[in-house]
Chain A
Amino acid sequence: MTATIILVLVVATALAFDFTNGFHDTGNAMATSIATGALRPKVAVALSAVLNLVGAFLSLAVAAAIAKDLIDQGTLTAAAGDKGLTLIFCGLVGGITWNLLTWLLGLPSSSSHALIGGIVGAVLAGVGTSGVLWTGVASKVVIPALMAPFIAGGVAALGTWLIFKVTGGVREGNRKEGFRWGQVASASLVSLAHGTNDAQKTMGVITLALVVSGSLAAGATTPDWVIFSCALAIALGTYLGGWRIIRTLGKGLVEIEPAQGMAAESSSAAVILASSHFGLSLSTTHVATGSILGTGVGKKGAQVRWGIAGRMVIAWILTLPAAGLVGAITYAVAAGIGGFAGTLVVFAIMVGLAGYMWVRSRRAPIGHDNVNDEWEGALEPAASVPAAV
């Protein structure tokens, strides 16, 4: 009986992670369209949510194997039953905690890296260094994170420069209206790609948990209810908006006009699709952030706030160790107390941390109504009024 309850907790936590994944990444696709006014904020998040939902149902041949190049898969499946489930559970707790903290600070960071970090940390605590494939960690996580902003930023800077070069003589009104459509189309493509990539990750985690707990035969296909619940969780998360991150991306990094928005999202869409096609594991978040920076670099005289970009890069570097630390500590707690009680305590810790960060965010809430306020050196607008979520 308790084994079933633990499995239910793990599945619920995985869906909660999927939900944070959704609102953490809304800005990747929609921040530019919201900042330029191409779409009203509520319309933008609704469109992105629908496209994530549709994306989650597309391309379901195989749910992504979670961290397969990073963790010795044997350790997760061989640590059958409770231990395997606890490793997955604590990994998810690490991922969620880091996602919420970075959201509170308004910093975009990769949800996949947070999840990977959490699981690597839990495995380190539970199995030791032998369970982690370090070459994989370097080649699939660390190095791509360093390359992504340069690749995406370079493409976006080139695109921006070309656009301004070509449309120099075009009347401002025509240009804005034209690029508005280009911007919405390219942002939609990013949302769709996000749904196909990221919802699958959680589907993979839940499927793995089901296999580890013995509820599902190894190698079985993802059950329908997993697909539906994951698709729904990421779409609902996307609709919630993650306004703090949208604000940083849309207003904080660079001042964006429609032509730049289109250049940024086109670069993001092309680089994300190309990297998943050719098998380079670039994070959607790193690509999107790099693209937005690139449009600032590519436009003559545009202001790029490098201080904010620097904070983001620090967050990216910290993602893996920080989520890993939470994963390791919670695993130590869960294993120390042991059994069902241990899992419950960790669950309570996670809920407590999440509640605390939510309360903190309400001190200076950012919502659809003040997301576009002038950037005055800080995430929170000076004239902050209590906003509806």
Chain B
Amino acid sequence: MSDYIDLKVVAQVLATGVLLGAGLPLVFAAGLKVLSVGTGQATTGADSADGFALTRNGAARVVGGLCLLVVVAAIVFGIYIITHKG
């Protein structure tokens, strides 16, 4: 069977896929959420549940900006992988 499927490689691809392919969109979405709270557009009810009610504009911007920065860094990392393989 191992001639046909290398389960370790499949697991590696799946784990990387989940971490970067689903994780980064999550970070990006979280960044958008925080930024939109930072502009004071969201309702208080929804916010307090998420713990953002007391977040100030500035702090929200920093956190949101950091989230987006993580995503940009990951894309740069992706380009690095593309250019340095083989």
Q: Which residues of A approach B to under 8 Å, CB–CB?
A: 55, 58-59, 61-62, 135, 138-139, 143, 147, 151-152, 154-156, 158-159, 162-163, 166-171, 174-175, 178-179, 182, 185-186, 189, 192-193, 196, 259, 262-263, 266-271, 273-280, 282
In this complex, what residue of B is CB-closest to A263? B25
Q: Are B9 and A169 in contact (CB under 8 A)?
A: no
- Report how far A186 CA is from B10 CA in the complex, Å: 22
In this complex, what residue of A is CB-closest to B11? A278
In this complex, what residue of A is CB-closest to B45? A169
Q: Are A59 and B32 in contact (CB under 8 A)?
A: no
Count of chain B residues with Cβ under 8 Å from any Cβ of A?
A: 43
Query: Apart from A151-B10, A163-B25, A185-B75, what are 4 other A-B pairs with CB-CB below 8 Å?
Result: A135-B4, A166-B33, A174-B32, A192-B79
Q: Are A178 and B32 in contact (CB under 8 A)?
A: yes
A-contact bits for B19-43, CB 8 A (1 contact / 0 none): 1111011101110110110010111
Q: Are B33 and A167 in contact (CB under 8 A)?
A: yes
Q: A156-B21, A166-B33 are in contact. Are A278 and B42 (CB under 8 A)?
A: no
Show 26 A/B contacts (Cβ-Cβ < 8 Å), sorted by A: A58-B82, A59-B85, A61-B86, A135-B4, A152-B21, A154-B18, A155-B22, A162-B22, A163-B29, A166-B26, A169-B50, A170-B42, A171-B36, A182-B28, A192-B79, A193-B82, A267-B21, A268-B21, A270-B17, A271-B16, A271-B17, A274-B16, A276-B85, A277-B16, A277-B85, A278-B16
Q: Which residues of B approach A to under 8 Å, CB–CB?
A: 3-6, 9-10, 12-14, 16-22, 24-26, 28-30, 32-33, 35-36, 39, 41-43, 46-47, 50, 71, 75, 78-79, 81-86
Interface of chain B: mostly helix, strand, loop or mixed: helix
Residues of B contacting A262 with CB < 8 Å? 25, 28
B15 to chain A, nearest CB (A): 8
Q: A135-B4, A139-B4, A166-B30 are in contact. Are A267 and B85 (CB under 8 A)?
A: no
Residues of A contacting B24 with CB < 8 Å? 266, 270
